Each structure stands twice: as structure tokens, then as C-alpha cells.
Amino acid sequence: MDFAPSEFKPEQIEEAGRLFHKKCDFMLGVAKLEQLPDADLPEVAFSGRSNVGKSSIINALFYQKKLAKTSNTPGRTQQLNYFKLDDRLYLVDLPGYGFAKAPESMVKNWQRLIMAYLQGRVNLKRVFLLIDSRHGIKKVDSDIMEMLDKAAVTYQIVLTKIDKISEKELDSVLKKTADDVKKHAAAYPKILATSSEKNLGLEDLRAEINSLVF
């Protein structure tokens, strides 16, 4: 599938590839704001609805090393899972939102934690907001986007699971998403289209992340 030419130079793609071959370890799971590690490194977070593919994309970025737990059951990730890459960057796998099956009190607790984290984390360089390419941006996603606009946290839309749709469908969801993104002050204009399963669009995502590391 050849949808959008990369805006990165080959050497930038290569440098980013090297970064993701460096040592990356699970650091800790955060269930309460007080447990957040010191904001001593730049940080990126992966957010999105339950089951959209957040944990899968983190694994795929690291060339399939099984760092993050993935699951068919929505709501698998229940804490903010911190990974430290090469002592240079934190990557955070967030619990998904919009998941109705867990007990309501539990969902409320996660939502509160995620919101407080997203609004208050000073070293958070960018949020990658994952959207299932089959569904596009839903109301729950727009709500998060509005909240991030208000908090002035930069976020970038990453379409996931593009192996499940045709090129024509991808074209259409990209156009629609681009129109939507224009209405949001804190949204990064470039949209990434990815498949963790088929390794599509990951080089550009690595390059985006690499550009945020000092």
C-alpha cells in the first residue's frame, strides 16, 4: 500500500530505526498520579479507545519485542504503563477509554487518572491519539481532542489497523480525518496511517518520535 509519501529524509528514518533498536524496558505501572516517575525525560503517550491497538503499536515500533501486553479483550491495559527507551525517552501505554464492560467505578477511576495525566504532565511532548481506520473519529475521541486542545497538549492522529480496509476506504478516512483535524487547535496536521500487523506506517511514526528526543 503506497498512500502518503514520507516527509522524512532517509537518514532521519534510519536514525529513528536505530533508536528503536536500543534497550527499552518496562519501568512501572502507574495506578495513581502520585506514582508518576519524575518528569526528567521527554515523554510520549499512546491514547485511544479500548482495543484500538495501542499496546500492539508499541510492540511493533520495537520490531515485535513483546514489551506491552495486548489482548482481544478490550480494557486489557489498566494502568499507565511506562517504558524507558535508551535512558532518553519515556513511552506511555495508556488504558483505553470508551470501554463499558468494566465496573463503572473502575472506569471512572481510569478516566480521571488519564485526564489528570494528559492535562498535567509537563514533559509530555506529544500524545499519539490512535483511531481505528475502520471507524474514524467518534464522539469519545472528539471529546478527548477538545480536552487536549484546551490543555494545549499537542496530539497527532494515528490511524490503526489499515490492513483491514481497502485503499479507497483509507483514502476516504484520511480525507475525513484531515478535515476534522483542521478544526482542532492542538492537533498536529499530519496524520499517520499504520498497521502493526503488517508493519505499515511505522517508520514515519518512529521518525516522529525520534524528532522529539533531545
Q: With CB under 6 A as the contact rule, which of the stretches 135-143, 146-154, 169-177, 193-201 interacts with ligand GTP? A: 193-201
CB of 62 to ligand GTP, least distance (A): 13
Query: DSSP secondary structure string, 88-137?
Result: TEEEEEPPPBS--SS-HHHHHHHHHHHHHHHHH-TTEEEEEEEEETTT--
Query: DSSP secondary structure string, 39-58?
Result: S-S-EEEEEEBTTSSHHHHH
State the Cα torsion 55-58-59-65 to the nearest 10°.
-130
Give the span between the Cα atoms of 83 and 68, in whole angstroms: 9
Which does residue 163 bind out of ligand GTP, Mg ion, none, counting CB within 5 to 8 angstroms by kind?
Answer: ligand GTP
Q: How far is CA 197 from the centre of its chain?
A: 16
Say which DSSP state 35 is in.
G
Continuous segment of H or E residues that includes residue 176: helix 167-182
Distances (CA, A) of 114 to 5, 8, 83: 33, 31, 17
Task: Choose between 135 and 164: whose C-beta lies nearer to ligand GTP.
Answer: 164
Q: With CB under 6 A as the contact rule, which of the stretches 5-13, 50-58, 105-113, 137-145 interacts with ligand GTP? A: 50-58
Q: With CB under 6 A as the contact rule, which of the stretches 2-10, 20-28, 105-113, 157-165 interacts with ligand GTP? A: 157-165
Query: DSSP secondary structure string, 138-152?
Result: -HHHHHHHHHHHHHT
CB of 97 to ligand GTP, least distance (A): 8
Q: With CB under 5 A as the contact rule, which of the stretches 13-21, 30-38, 50-58, 197-205 interacts with Mg ion? A: 50-58
Query: Considering only residues 8, 30, 45, 55, which one is a binding residue for ligand GTP as defined by CB under 6 A?
Result: 55
Residue 55 makes contact with Mg ion by CB under 5 A: yes
Task: Choose between 52 and 181: whose C-beta lies nearer to Mg ion.
Answer: 52
Query: Considering only residues 16, 53, 128, 145, which one is a binding residue for ligand GTP as defined by CB under 6 A?
Result: 53
Q: Is 170 left (phi over 0), alpha (psi -120 to 50) or beta?
A: alpha
Region 17-36 residues binding ligand GTP, contact defined as CB under 6 A:
none
Point out which residues bind Mg ion (CB under 5 A).
54-55, 76-77
Residues engaged in binding ligand GTP (CB under 6 A):
48, 50-56, 70-72, 74-77, 95-96, 160-161, 163-164, 195-197
